[in-house]
Structure 1
Amino acid sequence: MGISMSNQNQSEIQIKGIREGLLVTVSDGKWEDIQNSLLLQIQEKEKFFKGAKLALEVGIREMHAAELGVLRDRLADRDIGLWAVLSSSPVTEQNAQVLGLATKVSTPKAERKIKTPDNTIPGENAVFINRTVRSGFKVLSHEHIVVMGDVNPGGEIIAGGSIIIWGKCRGLVHAGADGDETAVICALELAPMHLRIANYFATSPKGKGKPQPELAKVVNGQVVAETWKLKAR
């Protein structure tokens, strides 16, 4: 936030923070009045200015080296360092350089905004069960259900959406209980006592061989199981 002050001669001083310290911008007017106004403001806000590094912006004003030197010394007496003078006047710029003052300050570059394509994939609600569902326990939800564990014989999972079991499925599982025939049932080992998707039933055949991750779904009015492989869609 800038600070501004006007004196009786309508000279105006604006002060704002920059990376290197404070930037003081002065308008047209008698230099002696502007200098006195600046020093008065510094006196009134001594704690704010103490130890500050100050850059002076004077626009097209032509300033002699002696004027800049006096200001630098008077600021130094107040523990303020004048380190730069900014001006569009070649005379002022040259005189500032003679005194060893900088004539440019760094300005932060505007952040480059990179427009990225909208590749957000909409998600769906699900119930997450971080335990094994043991015999006598039932999990019921109108959403999807994810089980991080086994579903033991006698355990039940009933979901309005799909069911994903990161473990062995040996209990009763019913996906698409609200009639969703696109629901699926996935498990690292799919050997349920009873499996149902929407209104379609299936049972696990005996002697299936080596357990493997499987996915059950409805195809042409029948529940079929296939190897569960992750793939891009």
Structure 2
Amino acid sequence: MSNGESRRDDMMLKGDARGLRLVVPEDLAPEMMKESLKNVLGAARHILAGARVVIDLRGRACSEGEVFDILTHFVWPGGVTVISWISFHAETLRLLRASGFPTGEPPMPGPTPPKGRPPLLLIPRSLRSGQRVEHGADVVVAGHVNDGAEIFAVGCVVVWGRLQGLVHAGCAGDHGAQILVRSFEAPQYRIGSKVSYVDKDAPWWGKAVVLCLENDAPVAHQIDVKNA
């Protein structure tokens, strides 16, 4: 942009400890995809050759054509190695996996975490209907999980907002996993192999709760987050 400011629909190339991350905004107009990719490639070509890159699609609903555009207008001409594709959109995630692409947040370099246990995944925004998160450890959402959104975590789940969608903590079978929610407003939740259906008449509906299993039965403990 000519004024030097970045808009929320600008495509960005950012650096972090993993390497480079291409962030494709959810609100970028489809007809702007090729032009935006070419602009990023032109501005950063000098640092791209041989670089390790994460393609972060966030909650964007990507078509096969858009994925191909990313390959033909950024990945292949830039000479980069894509270490992972990130998506919170269920159909896009299925498309990426069906194409054989690696998906999910790659581990940070540094001290090796316990074997088979990826690092915590922090999602700094709300999840909309149709968005799905799958992660092999704990998940924290700094926002709402709206109706129609889904989280499947091998570990625990924290939703620091409203939970109206589906959360499955301990989805690999861990009955010790827990769910912490600032405002519970969902018809069901899952922990391990257990499913609990919740009625709006529950005394803790709309309240902050910790959900867990005790003696193999779902239990909700209301908590005070006024000073949190």
TM, length-normalised to structure 1? 0.44
**Highest relative contact order (Cα 8 Å, sep 6+), 1 or 2?**
2
Determine which structure has more spread, i.e. the larger CA radius of gyration.
Answer: 1
Q: Which has the higher strand share?
A: 1
